[in-house]
């Protein structure tokens, strides 16, 4: 199979940072030069400058046994101390660490002094339950401050947390608890989602119920935060209320240091198929790149910014850009419990206005759903506090990028499109605001100190203007250290394809533009071979989203006798368009439009207008299921969908 991916999209807009933004930005062009001159030295310098080491390291990178990397190996560090105590000791205890708003509208502001005090108590509580260095703790929580407190308390005692997204089922929780052999589960009675309490404790009870078949029961206790106020079933001896145990715990707790390579957490990622993999992250290396990218890529100024990353703590984005990175920097983070459309579709914008959020970091799927409901909603709010916008999780279509900049960013805020993965731990490719002239839809350049390339099947770099496979060509501080309990799977999944070169293969397609900058093209599994051309889903979707009527699009390759694969598109139309135009004939217009925009080869054979797209709980489109519909097959496994009813709606609409 050829790895060449044909390039169709032409996008020539470019936005240079304003002189005012550049003058105040943390990042400078000089960072790239320093990193290029001595990559490892650069990371050592960042680790020393940005973090406190209880025991300084003398060795930067040990790559003697690839792909098992060690960074800052002889150093000792306390992640919790870096995120908490040191800010208090530096006199910043009064600074707000977390601004929390619950979905019903309840508010809490937690200062660094208060957060430190809470985490100390929680750490004592964990130790009183026998949890210590190396133990695994599953955290199954709503988006409330106790989730962050639980994570930091684990870090403080050297335990390894495994956060399981609160929207996952009892079965998913069970398999993750079993795989990690967790001794403790921290949960809540429930949390507020879409205007009602969504229960969590019953799922924990189910996950831990007599299993007979499963491995030996490892969970000794379940610690339950009271949030939703629901009645819960109680297993005496096992279940404990958080408020009883934590409130009773002693207030003082010394932050002990652990070796830099001590695992900080496991985070399970399913990829698109298969048994979830427990991605393992370290302490020192992870925190270095987390704090570095918060400071330079997201340009957070801890004294003045109010930073809102909208991701749930159940995802890696919530780990690196809600908890560890911003708190290590001493920044103020926003944490919102609920959904963006509850109780009204302008909730996000209302929160930005209310708290004066200065930096917003969200996902393309959210941006496209805001586009679908229309700009008149954000326009009712004062968004003038915003000075920087970020995007993460999927390729952002150029038109969605433009909408984000114009409607949310008042046509002036820079946008950073940040490419990374659960496995990479922190951002790898992104413009640097204040330095990079941004291009709508492109992640553009590797972060200083990171080396990536786009290569062909033999690992040879493609020329500028061409597409291929995205690889990371040298180890990086926040790289995953392995797959929990399965070193072979770690090697096989990420390192086997280009073993001779030592490249990490990310599973994504990308192209280099004429300037050598990088544009993500989606997962290579989604690439379609149409009449001998390898087309990426991303570019055709972007062409569709560029039409005035389209809010969201998903493209798949369906079996076709003539061409091998044919392009089939599923589109969601903007509400504003539907209120003024009849949908008749629109599919035909869109076919022609794609042909004009990017060429006849990409013209969809079929276009279906639908009201929903199948998405994972983190918002990624599951094209595999749409492929089943396009091929007229029985729809495959839908258990990882956020809303399992969506596929029957789509199948009905297609018929
Ligand atoms: O396909 C890429 C896409 O999301 C994948 C990683 O997903 P996950 O591990 O859930 O992490 C999400 C948070 C980082 C990648 O392999 N992806 C992520 N960010 C981008 C992206 N695709 C294009 N552009 C991005 N900025």
Q: How confident is the model at residue 217 (pLDDT cuts 50, 70, 90)?
A: confident
The sign of the torsion formed by the CA atoms of 331, 186, 267, 536 equals negative
Question: Domain for residue 549, yes or no?
Answer: yes
Count of domains in the chain? 1
* Between 4 and 587, residue with greater pLDDT: 587
pLDDT at 493: 94
Protein residues whose CB sits closer than 6 Å to any atom of ligand 1: 269, 316-317, 392-395, 417-422, 443, 506-508, 520, 523, 618
Question: Domain for residue 540, yes or no?
Answer: yes
Question: Domain for residue 413, yes or no?
Answer: no
**Structure token digits, residue 557:** 């390759």
The sign of the torsion formed by the CA atoms of 467, 469, 474, 480 equals positive
Q: CB within 8 A of 420, min separation 6: which ones?
A: 392, 426, 427, 428, 429
pLDDT at 5: 82
**3 state SS of 544:** helix
Q: What is the mean pLDDT of the chain?
A: 95
Atom of ligand 1 nearest to the CA of 443: 26
User: What is the pLDDT averaged over residues 182-190?
Assistant: 97
Kindly report, residue by residue over 614-632, the tens digit of the pLDDT: 998 888 999 999 999 999 9
This model's pTM is above 0.85 = yes
* Distance (Å) from CA 99 to ligand 1 centroid: 27
Compute the distance between CA of residue 219 and CA of residue 181 in angstroms, rounded to an integer. 8
Atom of ligand 1 nearest to the CA of 269: 9
Kindly report, residue by residue over 273-300, the tens digit of the pLDDT: 567 899 999 999 999 999 999 999 999 9
Q: How confident is the model at residue 211 (pLDDT cuts 50, 70, 90)?
A: low
pLDDT at 637: 85
Compute the distance between CA of residue 25 and CA of residue 298 in angstroms, rounded to an integer. 10
**Structure token digits, residue 629:** 């519909």
Residue 188: name the closest of 248, 239, 249 by CA.
239
Residue 624 domain boundaries? 527-654
Kindly report, residue by residue over 6-53, the tens digit of the pLDDT: 878 888 899 999 999 999 999 999 999 999 999 999 999 999 999 999
pLDDT at 229: 80
Atom of ligand 1 nearest to the CA of 523: 1
Compute the distance between CA of residue 227 and CA of residue 214 in angstroms, rounded to an integer. 30
Question: Domain for residue 200, yes or no?
Answer: no
Per cent of the chain over pLDDT 90 is 88
- Give the pairing type, strands 107-111 and 76-77: unpaired
Kindly report, residue by residue over 57-115, the tens digit of the pLDDT: 999 999 999 999 999 999 999 999 999 999 999 999 999 999 999 999 999 999 999 99
Question: Domain for residue 601, yes or no?
Answer: yes
Question: Domain for residue 174, yes or no?
Answer: no
pLDDT at 213: 53
Residue with tokens 């240091």: 257
Q: How confident is the model at residue 636 (pLDDT cuts 50, 70, 90)?
A: confident
Question: Domain for residue 110, yes or no?
Answer: no
- 449 in the Ramachandran plot: left (φ > 0), alpha (ψ -120 to 50) or beta? left
Question: Domain for residue 126, yes or no?
Answer: no
**3 state SS of 432:** coil
Query: Which residues does residue 556 pair with via DSSP β-bridges, in sequence order?
Result: 568
* Distance (Å) from CA 520 to ligand 1 centroid: 9
Which of 298, 421, 427, 494 to mutate to test ligand 1, by most ligand atoms within 8 A of the CB atom? 421
User: Residue 99 in contact with residue 332, Cβ under 8 Å?
Assistant: yes
pLDDT at 515: 97
CATH code of residue 607: 3.30.300.30
pLDDT at 1: 44
């Amino acid at each position: 199979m050829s790895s060449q991916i044909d390039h169709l999209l032409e996008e020539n807009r470019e936005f240079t940072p304003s002189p005012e933004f550049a003058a105040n930005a943390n990042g400078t062009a000089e960072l790239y030069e320093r990193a290029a001159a001595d990559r490892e030295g650069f990371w050592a310098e960042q680790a020393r400058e940005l973090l406190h080491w209880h025991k300084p390291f003398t060795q930067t990178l040990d790559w003697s046994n690839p792909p098992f990397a060690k960074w800052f190996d002889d150093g000792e560090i306390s992640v919790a101390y870096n995120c908490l105590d040191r800010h208090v000791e530096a006199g910043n205890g009064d600074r707000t660490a977390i601004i929390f708003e619950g979905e019903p509208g309840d508010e809490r502001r937690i200062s660094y002094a208060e957060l430190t005090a809470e985490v100390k108590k929680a750490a004592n509580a964990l130790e009183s339950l026998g949890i210590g260095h190396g133990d695994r703790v599953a955290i199954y929580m709503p988006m409330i401050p106790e989730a962050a407190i639980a994570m930091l308390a684990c870090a403080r005692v050297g335990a390894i947390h495994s956060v399981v997204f609160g929207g996952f089922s009892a079965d998913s929780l069970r398999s993750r608890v079993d795989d990690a052999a967790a001794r403790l589960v921290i949960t809540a009675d429930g949390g507020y989602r879409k205007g009602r309490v969504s229960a969590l404790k019953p799922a924990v009870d189910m996950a831990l119920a007599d299993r007979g078949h499963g491995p030996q029961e490892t969970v000794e206790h379940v610690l339950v935060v009271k949030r939703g106020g629901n009645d819960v079933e109680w297993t005496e001896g096992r279940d404990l209320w958080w408020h009883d145990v934590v409130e009773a715990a002693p207030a003082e707790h010394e932050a002990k240091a652990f070796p830099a390579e001590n695992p900080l957490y496991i985070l399970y990622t399913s990829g698109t198929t298969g048994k979830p993999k427990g991605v393992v992250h370290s302490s020192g290396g992870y925190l270095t790149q987390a704090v570095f990218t918060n400071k330079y890529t997201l340009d957070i100024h801890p004294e003045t910014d109010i930073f809102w990353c909208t991701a749930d703590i159940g995802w890696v984005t919530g780990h690196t850009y809600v908890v560890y990175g911003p708190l290590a920097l001493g920044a103020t983070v926003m944490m919102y419990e609920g959904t963006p459309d509850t109780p009204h579709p302008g909730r996000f914008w209302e929160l930005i206005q209310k708290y004066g959020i200065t930096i917003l970091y969200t996902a393309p799927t959210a941006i496209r759903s805001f586009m679908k409901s229309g700009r008149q909603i954000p326009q009712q709010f004062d968004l003038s506090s915003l000075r920087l916008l970020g995007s993460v999780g999927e390729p952002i279509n150029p038109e969605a990028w433009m909408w984000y900049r114009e409607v949310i960013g008042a046509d002036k805020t820079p946008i950073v499109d940040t490419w990374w993965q659960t496995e990479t731990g922190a951002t790898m490719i992104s413009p640097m605001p204040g330095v990079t002239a941004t291009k709508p839809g492109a992640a553009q350049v590797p972060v200083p100190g990171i080396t990536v390339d786009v290569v062909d099947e033999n690992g040879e770099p493609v020329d500028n203007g061409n597409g291929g496979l995205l690889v990371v060509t040298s180890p990086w501080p926040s790289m995953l250290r392995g797959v929990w309990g399965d070193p072979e799977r770690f090697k096989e999944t990420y390192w086997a394809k280009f073993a001779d070169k030592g490249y990490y293969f990310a599973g994504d397609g990308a192209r280099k533009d004429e300037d050598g900058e990088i544009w993500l093209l989606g997962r290579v599994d989604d690439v379609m071979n149409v009449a001998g051309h390898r087309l990426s889903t991303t570019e055709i979707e972007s062409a569709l989203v560029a039409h005035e009527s389209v809010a969201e699009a998903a493209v798949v390759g369906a079996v076709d006798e003539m061409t091998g694969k044919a392009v089939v598109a599923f589109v969601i139309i903007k509400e504003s368009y539907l209120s003024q135009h009849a949908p008749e004939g629109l599919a035909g217009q869109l076919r022609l439009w794609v042909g004009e925009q990017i060429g006849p080869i990409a013209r969809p054979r079929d276009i279906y207008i639908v009201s929903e797209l199948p998405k994972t709980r983190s918002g990624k489109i599951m094209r595999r299921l749409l492929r089943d519909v396009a091929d007229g097959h029985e729809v495959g496994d839908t258990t990882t969908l956020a809303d399992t009813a969506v596929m029957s709606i789509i199948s009905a609409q297609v018929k």
